[in-house]
Amino acid sequence: MKSLSEMTHYEVLEVGRETEGADLERAYRMARAAFAEDGLASYEACPPEEAAAMRERIELAYRVLSDPDARQGYDATLGSTPDDAVPIEFGLDPASDEDIAPPEVEPEIAGFDDLEDAEDVAFDGARLRRARLRHGFDIERIAQVTKINPTYLRLIEEEEFEDLPASVYVRGFVSAFARCVGLDAERVVPAYMDRFLAARPPAAGGRRGQAHASRQA
Amino acid sequence: MSLGGGKGGVGKTFLSSNLSAVLARSGKRVVAIDTDLEGANLHTWLGVAPPARSLADYVAGRETDVQGLPVETPIPGLKLITGTHGHLSMPQPDAETRARLLADLRGLNCDVVLIDCGAGAHPATVDYFLAGDDALIVLHPEPTSIENGYSFLRAAFYRRMELVMRKGDVRSLVREAMDQRNALGIRTPHDLLREVEAMDPEEGRRFREEMGGFRPRIVVNEVASAEDVKLGFQVRMVCRRFFGMDAEYTGYVNRDEAVREAVNLRRPVTDIRPQSDAAVYVRRIARKLLEAMP
Ligand SMILES: Nc1ncnc2c1ncn2[C@@H]1O[C@H](COP(=O)(O)OP(=O)(O)O)[C@@H](O)[C@H]1O
Ligand SMILES: [Mg+2]
């Protein structure tokens, strides 16, 4: 264990010497949240001045590492001692064999594999939610990417079929949702739509079309 | 393995019961033990009526052989040592009895002993927690749990160091550091490390080694959002920075109505609702634990 002054900028942000771009950004956000003044994660963990010193170091580390010139200059001052190892679970390259498809959006977090495929777990609303959380996305993020009303995304997860629009819309929503969270839409959509249509047979479609229109307004 | 976390009601017993059930169902011979003598309820989660013999009998000296304590549960391969019928004025055994108990547990004829710890950071609770080769700290995404979680980890850290330091003066230094307002100005594990190194370089080396070897696992229970899921990573960063511990974020479980349903039926949620969110998450954690087992 090193004291703060002994730590390199890389160690402060827990990134490798090659990390840059979006990965660096994510690591910075995570570190900032971890030691945030009013944050949960460091609540009563240490004397306040230590947390404040850490916050300062995080900002400095990010300023230097995100600026190519400053970073080059900084790297030149570093000795040959390797950094303390970056914990593997936050090694932002989740390319796990068990991932069905890479998510269309860069995940916020990595390290939790999709182990459910091997277990034959149903493709239901809860599975979509688990996949979403596994990548660290909140509903709003999925809504932003897919341009789908967050209320619908929530209803899809909760399987509150009654309040969803006509099946043709739902099919498209589920497909986009699945792709966004790294699930295979070709498998998710038929399975999900079976559940949907079992609860809401096609004959009941007309009224929902209306409900849909009014909700959009 | 052991499950602790400082705060009551965060899901230690929920996870103890369900993880032991999943491990047993995967073919391990498991003995779960409820060390919460003041609030024993692991047996209820597993559908076992309070049996004639329990850990309390061992603590009171009525039973001297741990081998005689485990009782059957409805789940094949899973046995249970309950914490029922505690002595109300002397709820936890003294250090000596504890040490004997923990040593005896290693002699049980099974693959996994899973220790469910009570709330708080009583020295006995900390010792049970430290007895695990794998120790899971269960947290809720709320300040009270985080606060108690860190005090618990701090207590566990100092206790572990006290146990491995060999020189008397270093040991008393560690004990002194446990007092958060100690006169030496030792406020963090890092301060303590520096003091130990200054006092005795050899003990300092041992201290560092031991620090690296203490790798508790973090589980966040009752998550409700992506923020809650991320909390585990952040706590891991904080542990690394302020405690020098390489904790691992092993998993999270969402808040799921199926859990209440299951406890009302006194059966593991992984058995009665295997497709529920909670069950899927518990199995994911169990799988990580299995991977780490010899
Ligand atoms: N993931 C969960 N979802 C919903 N309820 C939960 C969950 N985990 C625990 N609970 C509820 O919280 C209560 C306390 O859990 P318990 O495991 O007994 O806590 P502890 O052993 O840490 O004191 C239980 O009654 C249970 O119903
Ligand atoms: Mg309990």
Give me the CATH number covering residue A146: 1.10.260.40
Cα–Cα dist B218/B152, whole Å: 13
Kindly tell me if the per-residue pLDDT of A114 is higher than 80: no
- Dig out the tokens for B218 from the structure: 């973090």
- Dig out the tokens for B47 from the structure: 């559908």
One domain for residues A146 and A207: yes
Closest ligand (CA of B38): 2
Q: For an interface test with A, give the residue of B150, B214, B219, B237 to mutate (most A CBs within 10 A).
A: B237
Kindly tell me if the per-residue pLDDT of A211 is higher than 80: no
Note the pTM of the prediction, 2 decimals: 0.88
Distance between alpha carbon B280 and the CA centroid of its chain, in Å?
22
Residues (pLDDT < 70) of chain B are 86-90
Contacts of A83 in chain B (CB under 8 A): none
Taking an 8 Å cut-off on Cβ atoms, the answer to whether A34 and B223 are in contact is no
Task: Tell which atom from ligand 1 comes closest to the C-alpha of B116.
Answer: 21
| Residue A106, in any domain of the structure | no
Distance between alpha carbon A188 and the CA centroid of its chain, in Å?
19
- Identify residue B285 by its one-letter amino acid code: I
Q: CATH no. for residue A50?
A: 1.10.287
Closest residue by Cα to residue A132 from B283, B256, B230, B289 = B230
Cα–ligand 1 centroid distance for B45 (angstroms): 10
Q: Which secondary structure element, helix H or strand E, spans residue A32, and what is its range?
A: helix A21-35
Size of interface A-B (CB pairs under 8 A): 117
Q: Which of A92-101, A120-129, B265-274 has the highest mean pLDDT?
A: B265-274
Q: Contact at 8 Å (CB) between A129 and A157?
A: yes
Cα–Cα dist A1/A17, whole Å: 19
One domain for residues A76 and A154: no
Q: CATH no. for residue B143?
A: 3.40.50.300
| Residue A104, in any domain of the structure | no
Percent of chain A residues past pLDDT 70, beyond the cut = 80
> Burial, B104: exposed, middle or buried (Cβ in 10 Å; 0-12, 13-18, 19+)?
middle
One domain for residues A25 and A87: yes
Q: Contact at 8 Å (CB) between B44 and B83?
A: no
Percent of chain B residues past pLDDT 90, beyond the cut = 78
CB of B141 less than 8 A from some CB of A:
yes
Cα–Cα dist B193/B205, whole Å: 9
| Residue A23, in any domain of the structure | yes
| Residue A43, in any domain of the structure | yes
Cα–ligand 2 centroid distance for B153 (angstroms): 17
CB of B147 less than 8 A from some CB of A:
yes
One domain for residues A85 and A136: no
Secondary structure of chain B as H, E, C letters: CEEECCCCCCCHHHHHHHHHHHHHHCCCCEEEEECCCCCCCHHHHCCCCCCCCCHHHHHCCCCCCHHHCCEECCCCCEEEECCCCCCCCCCCCCHHHHHHHHHHHCCCCCCEEEEECCCCCCHHHHHHHHHCCCEEEEECCCHHHHHHHHHHHHHHHHHHHHHHCCCHHHHHHHHHHHCCCCCCCCCCHHHHHHHHHHHCHHHHHHHHHHHHHCCCEEEEEEECCHHHHHHHHHHHHHHHHHHCCCCEEEEEEECCHHHHHHHHHCCCHHHHCCCCHHHHHHHHHHHHHHHCCC
One domain for residues A153 and A196: yes
* ipTM given for this complex: 0.89
Handedness of CA A60, A65, A68, A71 (dihedral sign): positive
Q: Which of A159-168, A199-208, B20-29, B149-158 has the lowest mean pLDDT?
A: A199-208
Q: Write the DSSP symbol of residue A170.
A: H
Kindly tell me if the per-residue pLDDT of A91 is higher than 60: no
Q: Contact at 8 Å (CB) between A58 and A12?
A: yes
Chain A residue with Cα closest to B242: A46
User: Residue B108: its pLDDT value, please?
Assistant: 96
User: Residue B178: its pLDDT value, please?
Assistant: 86
Domain of residue A191, residue span = 125-216
One domain for residues A70 and A144: no
Per-residue pLDDT, averaged over A2-26, amounts to 91
User: Residue B89: its pLDDT value, please?
Assistant: 66
Cα–Cα dist A84/B259, whole Å: 40
Distance between alpha carbon B153 and the CA centroid of its chain, in Å?
10
| Residue A113, in any domain of the structure | no
Q: Which residue has the tokens 């019961």?
A: B17
Total count of domains within chain B: 1
Chain B residue with Cα closest to A157: B277
pLDDT band for A86, please (50, 70, 90 cuts): low
Taking an 8 Å cut-off on Cβ atoms, the answer to whether B147 and A44 are in contact is yes
Cα–ligand 2 centroid distance for B41 (angstroms): 6
Cα–ligand 1 centroid distance for A174 (angstroms): 32
- Chain segment A31-82, per-residue pLDDT in tens: 999 999 999 999 989 889 999 999 999 999 999 999 999 999 999 999 888 8
Residues with CB under 6 A from ligand 1: B 8-14, 119, 221-222, 253, 255-256, 259-260, 263, 278
Total count of domains within chain A: 2
Neighbours of A119 (CB within 10 A): 12
Atom 10 of ligand 1, residue of closest alpha carbon: B11
Closest residue by Cα to residue B48 from B28, B75, B30, B22 = B75
| Residue A119, in any domain of the structure | no
| Residue A105, in any domain of the structure | no
Length of chain A: 217
User: Residue A94: its pLDDT value, please?
Assistant: 34
Domain of residue B125, residue span = 2-292
Contacts of A122 in chain B (CB under 8 A): 275
Q: Write the DSSP symbol of residue A164.
A: S
| B71-72 sheet: strands from edge to edge | B71-72, B78-81, B30-34, B112-116, B2-4, B135-139, B217-223, B248-254
| Residue A118, in any domain of the structure | no
Contacts of A133 in chain B (CB under 8 A): 223, 225-226, 229, 252, 254
One domain for residues A83 and A8: yes
Q: How far is B102 from chain A (nearest CA, A)?
A: 29
Taking an 8 Å cut-off on Cβ atoms, the answer to whether B280 and A40 are in contact is no
Furthest-apart CA pair in chain B: how many Å? 57
